[in-house]
Structure formats: structure tokens, C-alpha cells
Structure 1
Amino acid sequence: MDLQKAVDALVASGAESGLQVAAYLHGEPLAEAYAGVPGPGTLIHSFSTGKGCTATLVHVLAERGLIDYDTPVARYWPEFGAHGKTGITVRHALTHTAGIPQLPRSLTVTELCDWDTMCGIVAGARPLWEPGSGSGYHGWTFGWILGETIRRVTGLTPGRALRQYIAEPLGIADEVYFGLPESELPRVAPLVEGGWEVHLARLPLGAPFTRLVAPNRGVWTTAALANRPAYLRADLLACGTMTARAAARMYAALLGEVDGVRLLSPERLAQAAAIAVDGKDRMLVRHHMKGLGYFLGMPAMAGLPTSFGHHGSGGSIAFADRERGLSFALTRTRLVDPANATATVLADDLRAAIG
């Protein structure tokens, strides 16, 4: 397929405002295209696509013996154990079964961007259900539960840990971030609303996502939030700012070697990408398969449970297809309605091209 031609046509038609798409096959670059942004190195905030980076960092640290999936988070972060949370493990956090997806209704963006404030709020939360008894998307809290664990075991800020353990070894240190250095802000393409905020506003009154996960409009994952410099600079491990090239390269290095670098052993990858949860999500109120920190078998992944990765609000996605040895990433500047099929269509075309 002519990926560049397809991406150019999407932007020229007005269906997209800016796209980056990248793919690797068996550790080698397969395709890369961009349109509507200055270049393939332009940074795009991709919301929860960054959770894939957080999960990968946890697994890399587990591979090194610094984190154990079945150890209580409170063993690493004692304050977290308050209010009945002593039994919540790293595995619970990765699978969204910890039972603490909620944020205070009065939460401000300033508080959201303050690491110590948010860790205090998460440590003071009470589980909404018995940990391990059900899975409900921890849209924001995923980042602080795992991020503070990462900080405690490494002694590094999460952003620095991402750089040291993943980005620098893969040669993408200037292409993937949790919180951006101020000097990198000019490289970020602004996001625009393209139906995503409208979708959130149309959720039923009392929907768990807008009642608990993102309980006021100020902390919805919108273009207005993502375009704030203070937000982009904050270490928010539920999100990420990246290029499609960097995301595809990271997933390729989970499947196998990329220029001599492999992030996980085959055995560790098998654990991380195996089905851990298969059922209705309590916050998203629909069926999902999840591994340890990754979603499995999403539409852009051809519905295959052997494909793992993460999507972001407004339609970004990055994943790996274990059967084909394929990794794929799409970052976009226009935040679209969930019905938008661009990522699925482009990924399907690449799958067809490689057989």
C-alpha cells in the first residue's frame, strides 16, 4: 500500500487535521508517513496511548527484579495502604482491578498537574469494590498508582525513568515523554476538537466515566486540556506525548530486537500480553480484554487477542501484533469520535500488504 498517499488524502479531505503513522515488521521499519504536521519528529499528545509506555516501564523494571507483580503497592509506597488498600498489588493496578478509578468531583487542573497532591489523593482513596473482584478503567489513577511505585523503586521521576530504561536504549529519547521539558513545548502540535468532546458530553447522565473517572469537565481529556503548557509539562503517567515512530519502535522492541535492543524476554512478554481480564469494564461499561497494563484485541488490532497495546482519547493508538511480528502506531491532532475508523483502516491495509 502507499501509506503516504492514504495519509495525505485523509488530511486533504478534512477528515483529519494532522496524522503520523509508523509501523515496524520483525524489528525493522516497515512504513512511515505524516501529513498536516511539520514532520515525523513532531510531538503529539496522545492521552492514554501513553499508558502503554507506563506498562512497558513497569515490565522492564520487573525484568530487572525491581518490581514484582504480586507484591502489594503499599510495600513500595507505604502511604498507599490506607483505607483498606494494603492488599492491592501491582497486578491489580495493571489490570484496572484495584477498585480506585475515582477522583474528587472538585478536582482542578492545577491539582491534576501536581504530583504530590495527586499521590496524596490516591493514597487517601477508598476502594469502590473489593480489589481483584472486577475491572474498571482507572483512566487517571492508573498513572499515579504505578508512577509513584516506579519513583519509589528507582529513585527517579517517572519521566526520567522512562528516558533511562526505555527511550535512551532505543534511540528515541527526544520522541517520547510523560512530562515535557519546557524547551520541547514548541515541538508539540496543538490538538483540535473533532467530535471527542461532543462524545463525552453526550454520555448518559451518571455514566461511570464522567461521574467517577473524569468527574468534571476541567479534567476531561480534551484538546483544551492537552494544549495547556502546564499540563504538557506535568509527569502524568496515564498519558504521553510522543511521535508515532517512537511508539511503534517501542512495541517492536517488545516483540524482538530493534538494532540489538530487546526490552523484555519472551517469557516476560508472554506474561505481560496474556489475557488477564476478559469481561465488562465497570467504568467503560462494555466488554474488554486486558493484559498487564495493555488492552488486547481492539478493532485496530483486528480483534486479535494476541495483539496488545493502548489507545488514547480522541483516537490515537499504538500496539504490537505478536502473530505477525508487526507494531503499529497512529498519532493525530484531531480528537475524533470513537466511531472514527482511520486507525483500523490503515492498520488493516498494512496487514493486507504484508499478508
Structure 2
Amino acid sequence: MRPSEPLPGNPFHHVRVYPPEEVTRRSEAECDPAEAGLTRADVEAIWDAVVRFYRTGLQPSIALCLRRRGQVVLDRTIGHLVGNEPGLPADAPRRVASPDTLYSLMSASKSVTAMLVHLCSERNLLRVDDAVADYIPEFARHGKHWITIRHVLTHTAGIPVLPGVELDLDLLADPDRILQLLCDARPLTPPGRRLAYHALTGGYILAEVIRRVTGVGVQEFLEREVRRPLGFRNLNYGVSPAEFGRTAKNVCTGLRPVFPVSWLLRRALGTGLEEAVRLSNDPRFLTAVVPSGNIHCTANEASRFFQLLLNGGQLDGVRVFERATVRRAIGEQSYLAFDFTMWLPLGYGMGFMLGHEWASLFGPRAPRAFGHIGFTNLLVWADPERDIAVALLNNGKPMLNPDLVWWLNISRVIAARCPREVPV
């Protein structure tokens, strides 16, 4: 059966859509749905929603891992990790994605970095209401002595961007230079006054605070406190060159953004969509430590990290965080406040985006859900009331396309098929 071809001159930049049965791979880790309180019909309905999104041609590949009641219900991929970008010839070399494929979590990496900060707080190495300058004295310049760690965690520090500084790979890989720029920066607004998404700046500040209070870099701290105790094989800042071959290549799909979306994107990232995607595939980005944006892992490991949080900080008999630490991290800090970077109403915890009763990224009727989106349509989340931990990863980066409703439909179907059952 032949793949469907994009229409000539199609402005939506679709990829070829291959017969799902030819490009679907599943993990042997999937349990009997009954063990998780679901039916096979529930599982297939959820996967059908993923396939429906794949058929839009917006995604070269999609990976979904869904845990319920701690059991892996779904761990599947569909599509290609490389070789099916818009504009490539039909005979270009392709590789089918698998549950072992690595994806960049992009901004969803913020939740991992935030939990490392909360772990430092748990150990009395810092307090989130302390000023950043208590730990980085040179950061106090230009009135930034009022900025607290909580402000950084909640995107209210007033330094969402570095004005006049273009996103540059050599700069991203130079945390000392970035720290100098952040210390020299003047806040755009007083701390705490406005919610404005800090796409990259906040992660570097938090990573430096971690380094100053622990004596080790954020990557080593993650290794020592999370990866090694829990046996994570992949969850890490960046990837090694040896892993490039199983890392999904990000591609631009959908309509190219126009004003005001293009302006908002450049305002948040310091560059345009196509350049951001190109940079995300560059070996310098892949091997760098970008605390706000380049955790790489499989969908299974992303889901497993959120299962750790769903369990209150314990997994497989190993306690990493105290229950109170997790509760504090996911507690509401802003209720659908207007974000002056994203120009959307968003609810935040300290390192997490929050769900809502009537509508959210994590499906309807999800007021206790917490997670994070990643550039542009990755989602990782947990919902305590449904007892689920989910990672929905992909490597297509659409910004404008009516078919994105089928992306939102996946979390809707998951919410519908995994009814609320746990009082919180």
C-alpha cells in the first residue's frame, strides 16, 4: 500500500502519510489493560486518536506512553524518526520510529530542572523565597536583587528574554557567558508583577543556583539524584554522539507562522520557527546542557518520571522526593493568569503547567493535572484523579494548522477513557 503524497504546492507543509500498520511499533512492556482498570476497547480508542493525528500529515512520528495505576498500558510509536521531512523525495532513506527512539522534550525539560531545585530546597540547601542574588551575588545588578527563586520558577522574574540577544548555538553551550548576560540584564518588569513565559532564561538561572549550592553541575546532579537511583537509561540533558542515530529529527510542518504568531515566537525564543527547528537538530544543541530545553528521552522514560511525581516522589521502592516536596512543586501559583509572552491565560505551579476543570492541555475535567508542553506540541503530564502518567512526544513542529484539533483530541480521549477515580 502506497503512502499518501502531499499535494503539490500545499502551503501546509505536510509529510507523507504511510499505512499505519507498516509504521507502528509497540513495546513488549504493555500490560493487559484489565490490570489498569481499562478494556482493550479503551486502549484502541486512545491509539486510534493518535493514528488520526498521524493521518493529518503534521507528524513524521508520534510516540505515546500511557501509564495507569502504575502499569504501562500503551507504549507505541507511529511514523519515522528521520527521512520523511516535507520536500524530501519519496525514495529518501527513512527509519521507522520505535519505543526506543529518543525525543527532545524541549520546554517540558523545565519540569525536570524545577524538581532538582525543589530537591535542593527539601535538603535545606536553599529556600524558594530567597533572592537569587543570595546564591549568585553578581545577579543583583540593575535592581534584580528582589528576584526570588520562586519568581523564576513561576515565570514572574521579569527577565523572560535577553533583549537584543539572538538565539545562538555557541551561546547556548556557554553557560558562563549566558550567566554574565543575565547578570547584566535589566528586568523588563518588576519581579512578581507579570506572568511572562521564560523560555530559556530561567533554566540557566536555576541551574547556576543548583551548582552553587551543591558544587556540581545540573547534569551531574540529575545523574546522582535521579538517573542512577532509578535506573533511567536515557533521561538526560542532551544526547551523546553515539545516540544521534536513534534521536528523532525535528521538522517544520504546517503553515509557516505569520504575524502575530511569528512575533510571539521570536519574542519568546529569540529566533523564528524554522531557525529554532534547525538549531534543535544541530550536534551542538544535541550535546549541550540546556536546562530549560534539551532533556532527551523515550516516551516511556518521560512517562516514568511523571509516574515518580504521581507516586509522591517514590518509584520502585526508591524515594527521591518527599511527598510534601512534590505537593509544593505542583501547587497552584497562578490561576489562568494572562501570560505576557505567550499571550494566553495559563495556570502555573513551580515548574509545571496546571490543568483545569473545563479545559486544559491535559484534557477536560482535569483540575489536578500537572505537566508541561514542549515546543511546539509535545506534552507530558500526570493526572492524580485518573491515576495516569502520560508522555505524548513527536518531531513535527507545526504552529498554525486547523488539524491541530486532532492533537488536542488525544488528551480528550485519554481523559474520557480513563475516568476520574482517585479522590484528591
Query: Scaled by the length of structure 1, what TM-score is found?
Result: 0.90
Cα distance in 2 between the residues matched to 1:19 and 1:204: 24
1:5 Cα deviation after fit = 5.2
Counterpart among 281, 305, 318 of residue 339 in structure 2: 281
- Local SS of the residue matching 1:166: helix
Q: Is the 8 A contact 2:364 2:415 kept in 1?
A: no
Q: Is the 8 A contact 2:169 2:284 kept in 1?
A: no
What letter is aligned with 1:308?
F
Tell me which residue corresponds to 1:27: 70
Cα distance in 1 between the residues matched to 2:352 and 2:305: 14
- Segment drifting more, 15-24 vs 332-341: 332-341
Residues 221 and 330 (structure 1), Cα distance of their counterparts in 2 relative to 1, 3 Å cut? farther
Q: Is the 8 A contact 1:44 1:331 kept in 2?
A: yes
Cα distance in 2 between the residues matched to 1:120 and 1:305: 39
Residue 235 (structure 2) pairs with residue 210 (structure 1): no
Tell me which residue corresponds to 2:305: 250
What letter is aligned with 2:284?
A
Tell me which residue corresponds to 2:178: 118
What are structure 1's unaligned runs of at least 5 residues? none
What are structure 2's unaligned runs of at least 5 residues? 1-42, 82-96, 420-424
- Local SS of the residue matching 1:193: coil
Residue 129 (structure 2) pairs with residue 75 (structure 1): no
Cα distance in 2 between the residues matched to 1:155 and 1:119: 16
1:27 Cα deviation after fit = 2.8
1:283 Cα deviation after fit = 1.0
- Segment drifting more, 283-292 vs 253-262: 253-262
1:297-316 to structure 2, matched below 5 A, reads 297=355, 298-302=360-364, 304-316=366-378
Residue 187 (structure 2) pairs with residue 132 (structure 1): no
Name the % identity.
31
Cα distance in 2 between the residues matched to 1:334 and 1:216: 18
Residues 237 and 337 (structure 1), Cα distance of their counterparts in 2 relative to 1, 3 Å cut? same
1:175-214 to structure 2, matched below 5 A, reads 175-195=234-254, 198-199=256-257, 201-203=258-260, 207=263, 209-211=265-267, 213-214=268-269
1:12 Cα deviation after fit = 5.5
Q: Is the 8 A contact 1:193 1:334 kept in 2?
A: yes
Q: Is the 8 A contact 2:299 2:392 kept in 1?
A: yes
Counterpart among 103, 115, 132 of residue 44 in structure 1: 103
Q: Is the 8 A contact 2:361 2:411 kept in 1?
A: no
Cα distance in 1 between the residues matched to 2:135 and 2:201: 17
Residues 190 and 208 (structure 1), Cα distance of their counterparts in 2 relative to 1, 3 Å cut? closer
Tell me which residue corresponds to 2:393: 331
Q: Is the 8 A contact 1:280 1:286 kept in 2?
A: yes
Q: Is the 8 A contact 1:41 1:175 kept in 2?
A: no
Q: Is the 8 A contact 1:317 1:343 kept in 2?
A: no
Q: Is the 8 A contact 2:378 2:392 kept in 1?
A: yes
Cα distance in 2 between the residues matched to 1:251 and 1:221: 30
Q: How many residues align?
A: 349
Residue 410 (structure 2) pairs with residue 346 (structure 1): yes
Q: Is the 8 A contact 2:69 2:387 kept in 1?
A: yes
Tell me which residue corresponds to 1:17: 60
Counterpart among 289, 296, 305 of residue 235 in structure 1: 289
Cα distance in 2 between the residues matched to 1:262 and 1:236: 26
Query: Scaled by the length of structure 2, what TM-score is found?
Result: 0.76
Cα distance in 1 between the residues matched to 2:60 and 2:274: 21
- Segment drifting more, 261-270 vs 73-82: 261-270
- Segment drifting more, 25-34 vs 249-258: 25-34
Cα distance in 1 between the residues matched to 2:230 and 2:105: 20
Residue 283 (structure 2) pairs with residue 226 (structure 1): no
Q: Select the structure of larger CA radius of gyration.
A: 2
Residue 224 (structure 2) pairs with residue 164 (structure 1): yes
What letter is aligned with 2:338?
K
Q: Is the 8 A contact 2:128 2:149 kept in 1?
A: yes
Q: Is the 8 A contact 2:252 2:274 kept in 1?
A: no
- Segment drifting more, 43-52 vs 341-350: 341-350
- Segment drifting more, 314-323 vs 343-352: 343-352
- Local SS of the residue matching 1:264: coil
What letter is aligned with 1:314?
T
1:34 Cα deviation after fit = 0.9
Counterpart among 138, 153, 160 of residue 94 in structure 1: 153
Cα distance in 1 between the residues matched to 2:261 and 2:246: 37
Q: Is the 8 A contact 2:253 2:396 kept in 1?
A: yes
- Local SS of the residue matching 1:275: coil
Q: Is the 8 A contact 1:92 1:98 kept in 2?
A: yes
Higher relative contact order (CA 8 A, sep 6+): 1
